[in-house]
């Protein structure tokens, strides 16, 4: 029986387990990446493990999230990260170089390799045929220390593409179409593997757009084969020697299939406040647009900026609309300047921002009250833009540029003829902002620099046999990590300081959460389906843990957040019977006996209601030990001390 590409790469990295779907497996990790907002924690944890140098083939530390620098905190973090990279053998991408995923695709992503990144959009690397997975910082830290990465063997979905995208329809519309069909939990514990004749019409970066935003379906990762298009891209990046052909077998067997005829797609848009609320642009035509933002790791490649620039050439943005552009990398900026196309954006009135995450994570350029903001980004969760009353919509660069010109949502096909532009056969390569690892003898003498913003990791104790407390909060389906641990200009700089950042836990839905948790000595969260979708930020686990959160009881979990809860010793439990969710109220007193955890089920006593509820979990034997030890770090320390 033939194999899928996913199976081939996983099999070549398999340490434990089999390809049987849903079983527990572990794989070796060739490359890691971190960004600054998750990186400081990841490296504090790496330091705590006590290994002198990273054991991966390649590890890169990027700075792209926290570049606003309203005070000493962000630059403190940057310094810390730079000194860590020098000490432990990592590449360091200096602030100003660009967004981690765009940069990694340009300079480091390699067909056939595995990449683990402490950012949920790490699957961007799947655009060149690698298995690239997002994870919490601690999992990345242990991978850097040479440990294998544990996951459930995912199901593999064949996304079979035929046809060719029409003018003014682009890669973003492909992933929006998939989100329209399967929603934000449609691919949990699945890999989206792209095949079919249509893939030949998509360039490396366009494939990256699709695999990047595959994250929003809950997928473990997404992958394209490594073919002649990949070869062309790697040659253009002067990395032709790293190309290998990697295709699924012709008789590969997939668990599911999604058929998409690219020729039939039309411009799409995701409405507030979920990437899964997809409509056609036509349906929303005429809605006044206050802000347009082009950029983010989804749509900031040279191709994306070129199409927008050429549509805006010789025009002025509408009086009622603000346009921001945050390019993905210096390579992109360099080409745009050289070709003169950056001038088209500037002359049209675009506000050119730094090559960084910027408005995507609420780091500046918050929209006005009640604004309609059209963004080429991948997430439009409530409050993420920095303005709680704003309505963010997700679109392609074509739809964004058209809205900037017209001041209202307009089908870009009304623009007329698609402007022509050339893509370079060879990109300008300048890696002078990527500091390579120091040789071990020199690295030894490097001193790690810790500013006052870097606070030590809190320590957590083993769990007792019985958990007691009350329901601190009951939430609905699809609660995101942006609800649990918001980001933005005020909160993001606190990522290296758990006591401080914990003050903002659940702030968007309940400002009393922090104080109540402390008053009650911690307790429980009850939630619906897909709890913890979105970001890989482990702060959504560490900070609630710091406030005393003992267990989370939900209908289902999102993959990365589930792993983060385990890593920090918060027991993740699911209802055996989902209807039991209904009878629970905030404030109910619970008792959970953990001595039966190994059997796969535990009983929850709702003391307030006088009822008993059966709970289950998906924890492996090792994960049970990790949770009971109070988290992965105490668990590893226990292991090493033995």
The footprint of ligand SF4 (CB under 6 A) covers: 65, 99, 119, 121, 296-297, 357, 360-361, 377-378
Residue 99 near which of ligand MIC, ligand SF4, none (CB within 5-8 Å, type-dependent): ligand SF4
Nearer to ligand MIC, 453 or 536 (CB): 536
The item of ligand SF4, ligand MIC, none sharing an interface with residue 469, based on CB under 5 to 8 Å by kind, is none
Q: In terms of CB distance, is 91 or 160 closer to ligand SF4?
A: 91
Which one of the listed residues 104, 110, 379, 384 is annotated catalytic? 379
SS3 per-residue string spanning 332-396: HHHHHHHCCHHHHHHHHCCEECCCCCHHHHCCCCCCCCCCEEEECCCCCCCCCCCCCCCEEEECC
588 carries an active-site annotation:
no
Annotated active-site residue 119? The verdict is yes
In the complex, least distance from residue 65 CB atom to ligand MIC, rounded to whole angstroms? 6
DSSP structural state of residue 61: E
207 is catalytic: no
Shortest separation between residue 297's beta carbon and ligand MIC, angstroms: 8
Structure tokens at 325: 């552009």
Q: Which does 627 bind (CB under 5 to 8 A by kind): ligand SF4, ligand MIC, none?
A: none
Residues of the shown chain interacting with ligand MIC in the complex, contacts defined by CB under 6 A: 37-38, 65, 119-121, 134, 361, 379, 487, 534-537
79: annotated active-site residue: no
Nearer to ligand MIC, 363 or 615 (CB): 363
Which stretches of 3-97 are assigned E, i.e. beta strand?
Answer: 14-16, 24-27, 31-34, 58-62, 91-93
Dist CA 549 CA 56 (whole Å): 34
| Contact partner, 165, from ligand SF4, ligand MIC, none, Cβ < 5-8 Å per class | none
Q: How far is CA 456 from the centre of its chain?
A: 25
CA–CA separation, 486 and 493 (whole Å)? 12
User: Is there a cis peptide before residue 273, judged by omega within 30 degrees of 0?
Assistant: yes
Please name the residues in contact with 378: beta carbons below 8 A apart, sequence gap of 6 or more: 121, 212, 213, 215, 216, 275, 296, 297, 298, 360, 394
Smaller CB separation from ligand SF4, 134 or 527: 134
435 CB-contact burial (10 Å; exposed 0-12 / middle 13-18 / buried 19+):
middle
CB 112, min distance to ligand SF4, A: 24
Rounded to a whole number of angstroms, the minimum distance from the CB of residue 305 to ligand SF4 is 14
Residue whose CB is less far from ligand SF4, 355 or 530: 355
Residue 65 designated active-site: yes
Residue 537 interacts with which of ligand MIC, ligand SF4, none, CB < 5 to 8 Å by class: ligand MIC
536 binds, among ligand MIC, ligand SF4, none (CB under 5 to 8 A by kind): ligand MIC
Shortest Å, Cβ 376 to ligand SF4: 10
Q: Which is nearer to ligand MIC, 119 or 341 (CB)?
A: 119
The minimum distance between CB 57 and ligand SF4, in angstroms, equals 23
The interface partner of residue 296, options being ligand SF4, ligand MIC, none and the CB cut-off 5 to 8 Å by kind, is ligand SF4
Per the CB < 8 A criterion, the answer to whether 194 and 171 are in contact is: no
Q: Which is nearer to ligand SF4, 378 or 530 (CB)?
A: 378
Which among ligand SF4, ligand MIC, none contacts residue 38 (Cβ within 5 to 8 A by kind)? ligand MIC
DSSP letter at 65 equals S
Measured from the CB atom, the residue of 298 and 517 that comes closer to ligand SF4 is 298
Compare residues 360 and 597 and give the one whose CB is closer to ligand SF4: 360
CB count within 10 Å of CB 52 equals 11
Cβ within 8 Å of residue 206, ≥6 positions away:
127, 170, 171, 301, 303
- Residue 544's nearest CA partner among 513, 586, 512 is 513
- Strand, helix or coil for residue 308: helix
Q: Which of 13, 36, 65, 300 is catalytic?
A: 65
CA distance 632 to 642: 15
83 C-beta neighbours (distance < 10 Å), count: 17
Residue 426: how many other CB atoms lie within 10 Å: 9
Smallest separation (angstroms) from ligand SF4 to the CB of 104: 11
517 given a catalytic annotation: no
H or E segment to which residue 263 belongs: none
Q: Report the nearest approach of ligand SF4 to the CB of residue 68 (Å).
A: 13
Q: Are 305 and 332 in contact (CB under 8 A)?
A: yes
Shortest reach from residue 243's CB to ligand SF4, in Å: 26
| Identified catalytic residue from 30, 77, 119, 304 | 119
Q: In angstroms, give the least distance from the CB of 37 to ligand MIC.
A: 4
Instruction: To the nearest 10°, report the CA torsion of 196, 187, 15, 253.
Output: -40
Distance of alpha carbon 463 from alpha carbon 565, whole angstroms? 13
Q: Which SS3 state, helix, strand or coil, does residue 57 take?
A: coil
Among the listed residues 36, 64, 411, 482, the single catalytic one is: 64
Q: 309 vs 484, which CB is nearer to ligand MIC?
A: 484
Residue 516 to residue 537: CA distance in whole angstroms: 23
- The answer to whether the beta carbons of residues 191 and 21 sit under 8 Å apart is no
Element at 221 (helix H, strand E): strand 221-223
Residues whose CB falls within 8 Å of the CB of residue 342, separated by 6 or more in sequence, listed in order? 309, 333, 336, 352
Catalytic positions, please? Answer: 64-65, 119, 379, 535, 537
């Amino acid at each position: 029986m033939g194999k899928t590409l996913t199976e081939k790469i996983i099999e070549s990295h398999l340490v434990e387990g089999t390809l049987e779907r849903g079983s527990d497996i572990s794989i070796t990790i060739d490359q890691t990446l971190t960004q600054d907002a998750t990186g400081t924690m990841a490296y504090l944890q790496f330091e705590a493990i006590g290994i002198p140098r990273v054991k991966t083939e390649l590890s890169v530390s990027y700075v792209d999230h926290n570049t606003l620098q309203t005070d000493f905190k962000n630059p403190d973090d940057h310094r810390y990260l730079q000194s860590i990279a020098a000490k432990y053998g990592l590449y360091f991408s200096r602030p100003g170089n660009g967004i981690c995923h765009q940069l990694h695709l340009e300079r480091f992503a390699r067909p056939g390799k595995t990449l683990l990144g402490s950012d949920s959009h790490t699957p961007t690397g799947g655009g060149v045929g690698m298995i690239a997975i997002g994870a919490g910082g601690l999992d990345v830290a242990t991978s850097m220390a040479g440990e294998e990465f544990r996951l459930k063997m995912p199901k593999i979905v064949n996304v079979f593409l035929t046809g060719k995208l029409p003018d003014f329809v682009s890669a973003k519309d492909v992933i929006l179409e998939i989100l329209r069909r399967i929603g934000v939990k449609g691919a949990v514990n699945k890999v989206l593997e792209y095949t079919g004749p249509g893939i030949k019409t998509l360039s490396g970066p366009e494939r990256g757009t699709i695999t990047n935003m595959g994250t929003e379906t809950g997928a473990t990762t997404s992958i394209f084969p490594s073919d002649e298009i990949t070869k062309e891209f790697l040659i253009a990046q002067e990395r032709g020697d790293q190309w290998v052909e990697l295709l699924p077998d012709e008789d590969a067997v997939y668990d599911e299939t999604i058929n998409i005829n690219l020729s039939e797609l039309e411009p799409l848009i995701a409405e507030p406040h979920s990437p899964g609320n997809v409509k056609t642009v036509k349906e929303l035509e005429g809605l006044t647009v206050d802000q347009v933002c082009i950029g983010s790791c989804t749509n900031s490649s040279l191709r994306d900026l070129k199409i927008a620039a050429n549509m805006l050439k010789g025009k002025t943005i509408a009086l009622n609309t603000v346009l921001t552009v945050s390019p993905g990398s210096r390579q992109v900026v360099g080409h745009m300047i050289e070709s003169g196309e950056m001038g088209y954006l500037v002359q049209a009135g675009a506000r050119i921002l730094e090559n960084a995450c910027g408005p995507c994570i609420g780091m500046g350029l918050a929209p006005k009250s009640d604004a309609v903001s059209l963004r080429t980004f991948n997430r439009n969760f409530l409050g993420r833009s920095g303005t709680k009353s704003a309505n963010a919509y997700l679109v392609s660069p074509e739809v964004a540029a058209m809205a900037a010109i017209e001041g209202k949502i307009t089908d870009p096909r009304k623009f007329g003829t698609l402007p022509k532009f050339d893509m370079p056969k060879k990109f300008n390569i300048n890696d002078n902002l990527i500091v390579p690892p120091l040789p071990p003898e020199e690295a030894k003498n490097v001193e790690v620099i810790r500013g006052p913003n870097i606070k030590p990791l809190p320590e957590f104790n083993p769990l007792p046999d019985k958990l007691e407390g009350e329901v601190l909060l009951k939430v609905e389906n699809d609660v995101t990590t942006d609800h649990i641990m918001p980001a933005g200009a005020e909160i993001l700089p606190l990522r290296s300081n758990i006591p401080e950042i914990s003050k903002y836990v659940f702030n968007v839905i309940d400002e009393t959460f922090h104080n109540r948790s402390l008053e009650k000595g911690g307790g429980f969260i009850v939630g619906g389906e897909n709890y913890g979708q979105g970001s890989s930020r482990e702060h959504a686990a560490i900070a609630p843990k710091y406030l005393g959160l003992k267990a989370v009881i939900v209908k289902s979990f999102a993959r990365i957040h589930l792993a983060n809860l385990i890593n920090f010793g918060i027991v993740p439990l699911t209802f055996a019977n989902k209807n039991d969710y209904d009878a629970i109220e905030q404030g109910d007193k619970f008792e959970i006996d953990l001595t039966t955890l190994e059997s796969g089920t535990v009983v929850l006593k709702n003391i307030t209601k006088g009822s008993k509820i059966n709970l289950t979990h998906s924890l492996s034997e090792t994960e049970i030990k990790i949770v009971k030890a109070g988290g992965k770090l105490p668990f590893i320390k226990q292991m090493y001390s033995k």
